[in-house]
Chain A
Amino acid sequence: MSSYLELSARQRIPHIFDAGSFAEFLPPAARVVSPHLAQLDAPVSFDDGVIVGRGLLDGRVVFGAAQEGGFMGGAVGEVHGAKLVGMLRRAVDEGAHAVLLLLESGGVRLHEANAGLIAVSEVMRAILDVRAAGIPVVALVGGANGCFGGMGITARCANSVVMSEEGRLAMSGPEVIETAHGVEEFDARDRALVWRTTGGKHRYLLGDCQALVADDTGAFRQAAIAAIAAAHQGEVALTLAELLAEQDMLARRLRDFGGQIEPMEVWRALGVPDPKAIPMLEADAFVALADNYRAGADAGASTGGR
């Protein structure tokens, strides 16, 4: 058992991909760094906070990326984003079996503001190009920095999202919302509330992630293999049917829970008999219970559920 959360991006790769199989593109030795950080006296990193390359996953050629939360929170700058886009385009060129994204990011890197924003939108479009080429994209979210901002949107452009219960997936961080509307709106220091609002279990119950695993590299690896296999069973590219199902799921969510302010009440409204017990459950026990109640199990590519 090895915690996914506690590892660096570089350490995660050999745990997720077949050991020794991953070849990095534009590695740190190439010394390609952000052109914007020096003028702000901010440190640079020789990988600009993301590792991209090609490896084997269960013997098949899978392209991948891992964002390093330890460098500027995994945020996307000009070079970071361009590395992701280059890898995604190469995955199409070489006919990859799948693309696996180990996401950990605060979103746009504010030190490179406008360039970061454009970069995230380029990554989003490149992911959808990969899917359009019939290559599934799977996102793993289980790092300490979560997956926020533009990368929170980007994750949901993948065929499926795998999360641990410690993983967090959202758009604006709690601090941003607290700054905008006060502590009564969202108390960023209330860790239990932050977790209930953005954590893996809540996302799984809502239907925004398709697999929920324990914080364990082996569990993430197995879930990634299963998610890729499941995606290949159906339509990999976006389809009208998938988008209509998602429209329906999101409209029902708004209708049924739009008036709620507490995630636990959403779980109760889904039919979960004892919402207070949810945070205490181990991943396997939680999934066994949640599969009876979770929404969206039939919307989009799904790796489990009903």
Chain B
Amino acid sequence: MDWQTLATQLFPEGHDIVEREHFLSGTGQAAGRTVAVIGTTDHAPIGIEIALAQAQAVLQTVQDHPGRPVVILVDTQGQRLRHRDEMLGINSYMAHLGKCVDFARRQGHTVLGLVYDQALSGGFITSGLIADACFALPQATIRVMGLPAMARITKVPEERLTELAKDNPVFAPGAENYLRMGGVHAIWEGDLARRLAAALAESEPLDQRMALGRERGGRHMAQQVAEAVRTGAVKATDAGPA
């Protein structure tokens, strides 16, 4: 889905989102209130400019519109793979964006992510994955990297990974698998404006993803292990029910 169609469906009461060099920013009207919108389009690689522009928009919202919710529209091929971006510390630009989103949350801004097309690794970790909750459209692709590249790096044959990916959410791309692992809160179908309104009303700032991953059967160990470490249980299974 292109971002204009998405924006119209998310904000039938109106929006003023504009695109500049794959960077989306503006506001939309949702359930009678104004929400700030930032994001990317055209599978944009996230380089230092776009990370900084998103951070700037978040900080501006915190300063000028206390409490205004922030919606992050995600469509990225991942971090930009250039020497120059690495030289200038792209990890610091990404971290800065993540910290700005985190700060906004703690200042009382609800922050929601929505993967409407594609989300990959570094471009996702400080956008949708740092929001209070991340949602996805059913056709969204979410992954760390493609199976061919994964096969090359892990030295596991691609056929084997393809086979495993059929029923193992850890390897397969796709919104459904991230849903099972708790990384995606829910998949939005039907009336997107209603889904957004409901998500804004229900959002809460605690990180619940491990518990969701366990409940949904996509990530069995994370919650148990974290609780075992936290409570000092001797074995992961001693931590008790999640």
**Chain A interfacial positions (CB closer than 8 Å to B):** 25-26, 30-32, 35-36, 39-42, 52, 78-79, 81-83, 85-87, 89-90, 93, 108, 110-122, 124-126, 128-129, 132, 149-150, 152-157, 169-172, 174, 176-177, 180-181, 185-186, 197-198, 202-203, 206, 208, 237-240, 243-244, 246-247, 250-251, 253-254, 257-258, 260-261, 263, 266
Contact = CB atoms under 8 A, between A and B. Distances in A.
Contact of B222 (A42, A81, A93, A169): A81
Nearest to A86: B229
Contact of A30 (B59, B93, B235): B235
8 contacts: A79-B225, A90-B229, A113-B144, A118-B219, A124-B98, A157-B95, A243-B59, A247-B52
B118 interface: no
B30 interface: no
A193 to B, nearest CB: 8
A285 B129 CA distance: 41
* Secondary structure type dominating chain B contacts: helix
B215 interface: no
B100 A243 contact: yes
B179 to A, nearest CB: 11
B124 interface: yes
Nearest to B93: A250
B64 to A, nearest CB: 12
A30 B236 contact: yes
Interface in B103-160: 103, 106, 121-122, 124-126, 129-130, 142-145, 150, 153-154, 156, 160
B69 interface: no
A122 B94 CA distance: 15
Contacts of A35: 220-221
Interface residues of B, number: 80
Contact of B79 (A41, A171, A186, A198): A171
Nearest to A239: B103
B90 interface: yes
A171 B86 contact: yes
A153 B213 CA distance: 24
A110 B144 contact: yes
A266 B230 contact: no
Interface stretch (B2-10, B34-42, B170-178): B170-178
B76 interface: no
A171 B122 contact: yes
Contacts of B49: 254
Contacts of B94: 153, 156, 171
A261 B84 CA distance: 6
B91 A171 contact: yes
Nearest to B51: A250
A189 B93 CA distance: 26
Contacts of A118: 129, 178, 181-183, 209, 213, 219
B198 interface: no
A89 B230 contact: yes
B169 interface: yes
B122 A86 contact: no
A263 B87 contact: yes
A177 B228 contact: no
B234 interface: yes
B74 interface: no
B86 A260 contact: no
A78 to B, nearest CB: 5
A113 B150 CA distance: 8
Contacts of B181: 114-115, 118
A230 to B, nearest CB: 19
B150 A244 contact: no
Contacts of B177: 114
Contact of A152 (B91, B121, B154, B228): B91
A173 to B, nearest CB: 9
B166 interface: no
A149 B227 CA distance: 26
A5 B121 CA distance: 28
B226 to A, nearest CB: 4
Residue from B55, B86, B94 having most chain A Cβ neighbours under 10 A: B86
A120 B125 contact: yes
Given A118-B219, A126-B207, A247-B52, A258 B228 contact: no
B164 A39 contact: yes
Contact of A153 (B87, B125, B183): B125
A153 B91 contact: yes
Nearest to B225: A82
B122 A26 contact: no
Contacts of B209: 118, 122
Contact of A117 (B96, B129, B156, B230): B129
A243 B106 CA distance: 13
A172 B144 contact: no
B56 interface: yes
7 shortest A-B CB distances, which residue pairs? A86-B229, A156-B95, A121-B129, A152-B91, A86-B226, A82-B225, A186-B83
B45 to A, nearest CB: 10
